[in-house]
Amino acid sequence: MSIDERIEKALNKIKLNRFTPYPTLNSGWTQTILGFYLPFLKASRPTAIHSLKLPDNDQLLIMENRPKSWKPGQRVVLLVHGITGCYQSGYMQRMARRLAKRGALVLRLNLRSAGPGLGLSKRAYHGGSSDDTREALKWIEQKFPQSPVTQVGFSLGANITLKAAGEDGSRPTGNLDSIVAVSPPTDLRESVRRLDSKESAVFRKFFMKYLVKDVQKLHAKYPELGPVLVTKDMSVALFDEIFTAPNAGFNSSEDYYRESSSAKYIPEIKVPALIIGSQDDPIAASEPLLDIPTGDNIDLILTKHGGHVGFLGFGSQWEEVRWADEAVAKWIESFLI
């Protein structure tokens, strides 16, 4: 089956037309930037906040949005954010709102040291933090033992989600029975190369500003971690070599990229999966997805335009200007709730 046939098959499943960007928004850069800054309908305040202690005593925070109609045994959706994100990120709020309206109990995970979780962990999250999402799935199984679970990852969280599912293969953790990945950087080395290019200077400066600020706060909370050796003016590759890799226990940034990129794990995914990517994504290359052998359990949707977690295009109502959000919601609603 060709790529076009696979895409058409996936779209037919969820009864959704191919993505068509708004006029003048056919640039990956424009889609990415406006996708971040365009106003959105926010999620309601969490109905509960949970703290999850990890085996090394670090903690994760999980924000729960439970619809009044939800009953034990119905679906739980775990959302995983991307780089510099947290439960309050726009895509996390938008998806929590949509899925809660459709009847799912939504849990927004804050990875190590992210958002309000800063200061609760000595280590920081990274692109291969699949062990931490597994701990979250085990916790969900204990708290909601009869409920099936879908894990949805965005950007770096999408890479983590794909990696975890591939590592688990035919033995998924807890009650996980399906996953979704939106704009996954399946080749971390290539994504870092793109961020460090001249064309992506604006994105690199944005990410580095917040990454370094978080490191500074982390080291201020835990002085025993030593001096802060990273600066906002350095490349992402150097940041990963000096901070990400050693903080996460990797020998080098190359070791980190090699072991954490999800591309090599995707062929081992056995649960139903939806992967959404864009050919003009300025951060996460879509090319690896074209070369990865995947089974019938994986629905792959690659669009010509859409940028990185952008996908601003036509919908039947205001809320559907976020085409990928609606695709994810329809995929989960039509088959899994």
- What confidence score (pLDDT) does residue 291 get? 83
- What confidence score (pLDDT) does residue 290 get? 87
Assign residue 16 a region: left if phi > 0, alpha if psi is -120 to 50, beta otherwise?
A: beta
- What confidence score (pLDDT) does residue 34 get? 94
- What confidence score (pLDDT) does residue 333 get? 87
Give pLDDT tens digits for 219-242.
999 999 999 999 999 999 999 999
- What confidence score (pLDDT) does residue 1 get? 75
- What confidence score (pLDDT) does residue 32 get? 95
**Sorting pLDDT into bands at 50, 70 and 90, what band is 39?**
confident
- What confidence score (pLDDT) does residue 212 get? 96
pTM for this predicted structure: 0.96
> Which 3 state secondary structure label does DSSP give 250?
coil
- Average pLDDT value over all residues in the chain: 93
Cβ-contact 80, 135 below 8 angstroms: no
DSSP secondary structure letters along 203-249: HHHHHHHHHHHHHHHHHHH-GGG------TTS-HHHHIIIIIHHHHT
Q: What percent of the chain has pLDDT over 70?
A: 97
Cβ-contact 137, 175 below 8 angstroms: yes
Strand 273-278 relative to strand 176-182: parallel, antiparallel, unpaired?
parallel
Across 131-146, average pLDDT = 98
**Sorting pLDDT into bands at 50, 70 and 90, what band is 336?**
low
Give pLDDT tens digits for 70-84.
999 999 999 999 999
Distances from the Cα of 333 to the Cαs of 11, 99, 103, 124, 328, in angstroms? 14, 8, 9, 33, 8
**Sorting pLDDT into bands at 50, 70 and 90, what band is 337?**
low
Q: What percent of the chain has pLDDT over 90?
A: 84
Segments making up each domain of the chain, as ranges: 3-187+261-335
Decide if pLDDT at 60 tops 60.
yes
- What confidence score (pLDDT) does residue 315 get? 57
Give pLDDT tens digits for 62-118.
999 999 999 999 999 999 999 999 999 999 999 999 999 999 999 999 999 999 998
The CATH number, out of the four listed (3.40.50.300, 3.40.50.1820, 3.40.30.10, 1.10.10.60), of the domain defined by the range 3-187+261-335: 3.40.50.1820
Give pLDDT tens digits for 150-193.
999 999 999 999 999 999 999 999 999 999 999 999 999 999 99
Phi then psi dihedrals of residue 296, to 5 deg: -70, -15
- Whole-angstrom distance, CA of residue 337 vs CA of residue 325: 16
Strand 59-65 relative to strand 48-53: parallel, antiparallel, unpaired?
antiparallel
- What confidence score (pLDDT) does residue 316 get? 45
Give pLDDT tens digits for 286-326.
989 888 777 889 999 999 999 999 999 975 454 468 999 99
